[in-house]
Structure 1
Amino acid sequence: MRMIFGLVLLVGIALAGGAVYLAKDQIGQYKNAIARAEAAKQKIVPTQTVYVVTRSLKYGEKLEKEDVRPVEFPVTAIPEGTFGDEKSIFPENTEERRVVLRPIEKNEALLAVKVTLPGEDAGLTSRLERGMRAFAIKVDVSSGVSGFLRPGDRVDVYWTGGVGGGQTRTEVTKLIETGIQLIAVDQRAGDLEGAQIARTVTVAVDPNQVAALAQAQSTGRLSLALVGVGDDSVSPPIEMNQRSLLGIEEKVAAPAAPAEKVCTIRTRKGAEVVELPIPCTN
C-alpha cells in the first residue's frame, strides 16, 4: 500500500513539474510575441489619405469623379499639393470640372499644379509660372529637330548671323539660351502623336530672355537643339565661325621693321640753313 502511495506521489510530482515547465515555456513565447508586436508597431509608418488617378490622363481632359480614388500614403513621402478629400477636388458649390494641364500616369498622386481650378481654361497662361512669359520661335524641319519637339521638352537655342561689316563681316553661330522649356508646338500645348513638322514653338522665358530672343530672331536665324531628359549639365559659352569650323588660322601680319633713326645738325651757310646728317650717339 505504501509503495502504491509513493508511486502515486512521484507521478503527481512529475506531472506538476511538467505542467510548470510547459506553463513557463508558454509564458516565454507569449512575452516574445508581445515584444515582436511592439517592435512591429514601432516600424509602422503613419499614413494619410491622398487621392490618386485611376487611369492615365492627358493634357486637356476633364477630371471626373471616377478618375480618382483614395489611398493611404506615408506621411513623410506625401508630395506638395496633393488632395486629401474628394470635396477639395470636386467642390459641392459648382458642377464645373478641373482640366488636366500635364500628363498624369495611372496611380500617380493628383497634384494641384497638374490640374486647373474648377471651370478654369487650360490655356497657355495656366502653364506659365510666376514671372515667366510665352514667346514664339519660328522653326522648320531643320531648325525644329525634324518634328520631334514636344510640349514639356527643353531646348538650347543657337543664333546664326553676320558679325561686322564690309570685308570684315563674318558668319557666326552662337549659343544664346540653354535649357528653356517648350510649352506649345504650333497651336497645341498637349501631347502630340508621332513626328510633326512645326512652324512655331512657344517657350517659357523671363522678360530679359524675351528681349534677347526677339533681337536674335530679327537679326539672324535661330536653331533648336533638344536637351535629354534628366540632363542637368551646364553648357559652356559656344561660338563658331567658318575659320574655326575649318581650322583655318588667322594670318598675323609681320611687324613692320622699325624706321632707321637719323640724327642731324643744323648749320648756316650765309643766309641758308642746312641740315647735315651725323652719327647718332644714343
Structure 2
Amino acid sequence: MRAVFGLVLIVGVALAGGAVYLAQDYIAQTQAQLEREKKAAQDAMANATNIATVDVFVSNRPLKYGERLVQEDVRLVKWPEDALPEGTFQELATLFPEDAKGDRYILRAMEKNEALLEVKVTKPGESAGLTSRLQKGMRAFAIRVDVASGVSGFLRPGDNVDVYWTGSVSGALAGEGGEITRLIQTNVELIAVDQTAGSDLTGASIARTVTVAATPEQIASLAQAQNTGRMSLALVGVQDETVASAIEVDQRKLLGIKEAAPVEAKVEERKCYTNIRRGAEIVQSQIPCTN
C-alpha cells in the first residue's frame, strides 16, 4: 500500500513540475512577443519623428468658386516634404502680399483642410471671371441649348462634350438624303453654364446657353454650325480617353436604305442600209456599218 502511495506521489510531483515548466515557457514567450511589439512601436514613432515636414497653408473651411479669400480662411499645417504638391503657399507674405492691389478669389471649389495651390486661387487683384479659366490660345464661345440639346440640364463647368450639327446642305453635297447629322467637334471643355462658372452646382439645371473653351478655328466651325443648323451636345465620360472619328448620318443611313445600283442602259444594235435601183424600182438593202 505504501508503495502505491509513493508511486502516485512521484507521478503527481512530476506532472506538477511539467505544468510549471510549460507555464513558465508560455509566460516567457508572451513577454518576448510584448517586447518585440513595444520595440516595433518605438521604432515606428522614431521614424515618424524623423520625417521631414514643411509648413503649408490649407483651407479652414469649404471654399466655393468666386469667394474672396481672407486670412481667417487659411491655417498652417505640417506637410511631408516628399509629398508636397506643386504650387503650395508656405508663407503668409506670399499668400497675402502687403503691396497687393486687390484680393484673391477662389477659382476651384476646395474642401476643409485641402492645400491651397496657385491654380486654385487668383493672383492678388485678379478677377475670378472666365478670362482666368482660359488657357493660352483659347477663346470663349457661347452655344445655345435647350433641355434636349443640353443633356437634360446635367452639364457642369469642367465637363467635356462632343458637338453634333444637324442641317441641310445644298447643291451637289445634298444628294438625295435630306438633312444630315455630323460630329463637328470632340472633347470641347465647358467653362460656364448660363452665367455660372463654378463647378459646385447641385441638381439638374436647364440652361439656355453653355460657354466652351475652344481655339479660333474651332469657334469658326461652331459659329457656322450654329447659324446654319441645330447643334446638340453629348456628354463625355470623365475616364473616357477614346478619340471619336468622323461621324455622319443622313436619312438613308438612319433607315438602313441602300442606294440601288444604276441600271445599265440597253444599247440597240446599229443597222445600216443602202438604196439600190432596179429598173424603175428602188430597193433598200442592209449593209455592214462602217465608221
TM-score past 0.5 threshold = yes
Unaligned runs of 5+ in 1: 1-28
Residue matched to 1:228: 237
Structure 1 residues 143 and 97, CA, compared in 2 at 3 Å: closer, same or farther? same
Whether 1:180 and 2:195 are equivalent positions in the alignment is no
RMSD: 3.3
| 1:45-70 superposed Cα distances (whole Å, 9 cap, x missing partner) | 54333222122211111112122222
Map residues 105-120 of structure 1 onto 2, 5 A cutoff: 105-120=111-126
- SS of residue in 2 equivalent to 1:168: coil
- State the Cα distance separating 1:265 from its structure 2 match: 9.7
- SS of residue in 1 equivalent to 2:210: strand
Residue matched to 1:14: none
- SS of residue in 2 equivalent to 1:231: coil
- SS of residue in 2 equivalent to 1:250: coil
Map residues 103-252 of structure 1 onto 2, 5 A cutoff: 103-165=109-171, 168=176, 170-190=178-198, 191-252=200-261
Preserved CA contact (<8 Å) 1:175 1:237: yes
Residue matched to 2:287: 277
- State the Cα distance separating 1:135 from its structure 2 match: 0.3
- SS of residue in 2 equivalent to 1:110: coil
* Aligned AA (1:102): R
- State the Cα distance separating 1:84 from its structure 2 match: 1.7
Structure 1 residues 78 and 261, CA, compared in 2 at 3 Å: closer, same or farther? farther
- State the Cα distance separating 1:168 from its structure 2 match: 3.0
1:54 to 53, 60, 71: 60
Preserved CA contact (<8 Å) 1:164 1:170: no
| 1:142-191 superposed Cα distances (whole Å, 9 cap, x missing partner) | 11111111111111111101123477352111111111111111112123
TM-score (norm 1): 0.75
Structure 1 residues 42 and 183, CA, compared in 2 at 3 Å: closer, same or farther? closer
- State the Cα distance separating 1:261 from its structure 2 match: 6.0
Preserved CA contact (<8 Å) 2:187 2:236: yes
Task: State the 4+ residue runs in structure 1 displaced beyond 6 angstroms.
Answer: 264-269
Whether 1:90 and 2:91 are equivalent positions in the alignment is no
Preserved CA contact (<8 Å) 1:162 1:169: no
Count of equivalent residues: 243
Preserved CA contact (<8 Å) 1:163 1:169: no
- SS of residue in 2 equivalent to 1:83: coil
- State the Cα distance separating 1:216 from its structure 2 match: 0.9
- SS of residue in 1 equivalent to 2:226: helix
Separation of aligned partners in 2, 1:265 and 1:42: 114
* Aligned AA (2:76): P
Structure 1 residues 257 and 116, CA, compared in 2 at 3 Å: closer, same or farther? same
| 1:179-229 superposed Cα distances (whole Å, 9 cap, x missing partner) | 111111111212333222111110000111011101111111100111122
Preserved CA contact (<8 Å) 1:52 1:69: yes
Structure 1 residues 148 and 68, CA, compared in 2 at 3 Å: closer, same or farther? same
- State the Cα distance separating 1:235 from its structure 2 match: 1.7
| 1:86-138 superposed Cα distances (whole Å, 9 cap, x missing partner) | 11111122483210011122222211111111222111111111110000000
Structure 1 residues 71 and 247, CA, compared in 2 at 3 Å: closer, same or farther? same
* Aligned AA (1:79): P
Structure 1 residues 139 and 42, CA, compared in 2 at 3 Å: closer, same or farther? closer
- SS of residue in 2 equivalent to 1:213: helix
Separation of aligned partners in 2, 1:188 and 1:137: 14
